[in-house]
Amino acid sequence: MTEKYDVIIIGGGASGLASAWHLVNSGLKVACFEQGDFLNKEDFISIEEGGELQRYSSLSYDPNVRKNDFEYNIDSSNSPINIANFNGVGGSTVLYSAQYPRFHESDFSTYSLDGVGADWPISYSDLKKYYELDQELTGVAGVEGDPFYKDIKNLLPPVPLAPMGKKIAGAFESLGWHWWPAYSAIATVPYDGRPSDNYSRPSNIGDFSGSKGSSNHTYLPKAIKKGLILKTNCIVIKLESGLNKIKKVHFIDANGSSQSAISRVYILAASGIGTPRLLLNSSNDLYSNGLANSSGLLGKNLMLHPLGYVEGYFKDNLYSNIGPQGCCLLSQEFYETRAEHDFKRGYTFQVLRGPLPVESSLSLIARKKLKLGSKTFIDDFLSIYNHTAHMTIITEDFPEASNKIELDWSKKNKFNQPGISINYQLSHNSKRMLSHGLTSGRRLLKEAGAYKTFAFGPVRSTGWHIMGTCKMGEDPKDSIVNKFGKCHDIENLFIVDSSIFPSSSGVNPASTIHALSLYISDNILKRYSYLFENINGK
């Protein structure tokens, strides 16, 4: 029997759950199809009991390591950056570091301002109220008054800087560079029924307490209360379309049976790779190049935020391996275009907590800072662990048609569905920006008193921020969706995830993903209400 809904959302991650919450509040019958499962407390092992190892198995950021039947293969061999993600209820927010800065106003008009990247068809002011709504739902820690974010108010107390953060902040002060406590989706005090974080588990190994603002802790419970139908372990494999309209979705249910479902509106929220993969895989006689692809841009303009990494070694115990890993402080000193730079736009420095003992020791061995077989192995380890400072450089990436994803039929999964291949190279601008960030980062850590520094980039396993593959724009010849997220070619198909970002900014995208999804969902109700006519006789 074919299931019937008012709205079908494909993907139960950040954008899908935000959209689900918004739409289900309006009384619509909304179903969210998620290929993965819901994680329960029993799925997490405490750090004291060796839970760090889950980074290398069930909670790995690499689908090729997790090896779940429902996932698809990702071939990143033609890219210096591997895709990183998590598939399951909450999506990649299950494992994200919870860094939660907003875009700058300038990020929406980089082409007009700097002649690079692409302008968005919407502005910061269009998203502002949705950023604020998302902040209220998610709970964001930080400090008001940041010159780059003057309008951000109502923050929770900041995540503690701890000795490492204070030392690095001092170096920023000394150099006269901007710094600010991190904007963190971490409940530093009890918030909205969620407990405060006790900092015993790094944010990027998952959180079962609910203190981290993962979408499964924030939007999902509220959406379920309002009647959201969450269909886990349901893999949507194809959208069936007629001319300009989606007719139904075909999916494999939790029992492995082929099923279908219909609705008035279909919303794609399957990430910057999952969404174009599904559209490409839904080609038919009417749309032989994939759905919504009259522009030929589907899967192209992939942006990944090439990431640089800088580490410094200190004599003092800085307790640098304690606390939410990604959330300490940030600097946007080099965020905007400067005349003296040999690159356009810029980057964010993030000061991080260091990894736990397994990851730390493996990294140190690889860098020859620690040696198996040393008579003083443990003492050597203890002389470095907690005595380090860590920074990343998130560089703004520009859209380029040659950077893209494609279906890979040579690597099919258990359900005979294709994987994807990534073709991606860093631009000259990104390389110069990265080089500047690495050099500046080393200078900063030396200023902080590091006796040795280490820097490299791009870091391979950091392709978390997957953007641009279904570009938003006014012109159907140059974009996939319009300024309200509706596909130009299909009347009842919307996209709410980061695939529609026309440009990438130089910050983590999670808050913008949530805000954009809320904005589009609101506009579906306001501007496309005709799609829901005659529901229940209304």
Partner 1 sequence: MGNSISDGLKIIVDLSIPPSDYLKEKACYYISTSSSKLCRDRLNKFEKRYINFLNMVVLNNKKKPYNSFDQIEGFAVESFSKEDFHKFITEIRELIIYSYFSHPVVLSSLPIPINEHEIRMVIEEVTSKNNNFHPRTF
CA distance 365 to 415: 40
Q: Is 143 in the site for partner 1 (CB under 8 A)?
A: yes
Report the residue from 1, 40, 147, 339 that binds partner 1 according to the rule CB under 8 A. Answer: 147
* Amino acid at site 87: N
| Binding to partner 1, residues 167-186 (CB under 8 A) | 169, 173, 178-181
Task: Copy the structure tokens of residue 297.
Answer: 């841009």
- Site stretch for partner 1 (CB under 8 A), options 198-206, 435-443, 455-463, 492-500: 198-206
The two tokens of residue 48 are 């004291």
Contact pick of 290, 299, 323, 468 for partner 1 (by CB under 8 A): 323
Mapped onto helix, strand or coil, the DSSP state of residue 349 is strand
To which H or E segment does residue 168 belong? helix 162-175
- Which residues from 457-516 bind partner 1, rule CB under 8 A? none
Between 266 and 295, how does the x/- string for binding to partner 1 read (CB under 8 A)?
------------------------------
Q: Closest CB to partner 1 among 49 and 285?
A: 49
Pick the closest to residue 418 from 231, 254, 238 (CA basis): 238
Binding region for partner 1 (CB under 8 A) out of 22-30, 256-264, 370-378, 471-479: 370-378
Please say whether the beta carbons of 124 and 509 come within 8 A: no
Nearest to residue 501, comparing CAs of 327, 301, 363? Answer: 301
How open is the CA angle 426-427-432, to the nearest 5 degrees? 95
Regarding 199 and contact with partner 1 (CB under 8 A), the answer is yes
Q: How far apart are the first and last CA of the chain?
A: 25
Nearer to partner 1, 317 or 425 (CB): 317
- 160 touches partner 1 by CB under 8 A: yes
The residue count for binding partner 1 (CB under 8 A) is: 49
Q: By CB under 8 A, is residue 166 in contact with partner 1?
A: yes
Q: Could you say whether residue 145 binds partner 1 (CB under 8 A)?
A: yes
When asked if residue 62 is in the footprint of partner 1 (CB under 8 A), the reply is: no
Q: By CB under 8 A, which span of 17-25, 53-61, 287-295, 446-454 interacts with partner 1?
A: 53-61
Residues 6+ apart with CB under 8 A from 160: 199, 323
Among 189, 378, 401, 535, binds partner 1 (CB under 8 A): 378
Cα distance between residue 55 and residue 230, in whole Å: 26
Instruction: Count CA atoms closer than 13 A to 46's CA, side-chain side.
Output: 6
C-alpha 219/C-alpha 15 separation (Å) is: 10
Does position 65 interact with partner 1 (CB under 8 A)? The reply is: no
Query: Site residues for partner 1, window 411-450 (CB under 8 A)?
Result: none
Instruction: Please say which residue, 358 or 535, places its beta carbon nearer to partner 1.
Output: 358
Min dist CB 153 to partner 1, Å, is 16
Closest CA to 217 of 94, 88, 55: 94
State yes or no: residue 537 binds partner 1 (CB under 8 A): no
Kindly state whether residue 385 participates in binding partner 1, applying the rule CB under 8 A: yes
113 near partner 1, judged by CB under 8 A: no
**Nearest CA to 11 among 36, 43, 28, 39?**
36
State how far the Cα of 192 lies from the Cα of 190, in Å rounded to an integer: 7
The backbone torsions φ and ψ at residue 26, rounded to the nearest 5 degrees and listed phi first, read -90, 5
Q: How far apart are CA 408 and CA 364, in angstroms?
A: 36
Residue of 263, 274, 325 whose CA lies nearest to 9? 263
Of 51 and 80, which CB lies nearer to partner 1 in the complex structure?
51
Q: According to CB under 8 A, which one of 122, 162, 229, 525 is a site residue for partner 1? A: 162
Residue 180 or residue 251: which is nearer to partner 1 going by CB? 180
Q: What are the φ and ψ backbone dihedral angles of 406, each rounded to 5 degrees?
A: -140, 155
Query: Smallest distance from the beta carbon of 158 to partner 1, in angstroms?
Result: 8
Footprint on this chain of partner 1 (rule: CB under 8 A): 47-53, 56-57, 143, 145-147, 158, 160-163, 166, 169, 173, 178-181, 198-200, 319, 321-323, 356-358, 361-362, 365, 372-379, 382, 385-386
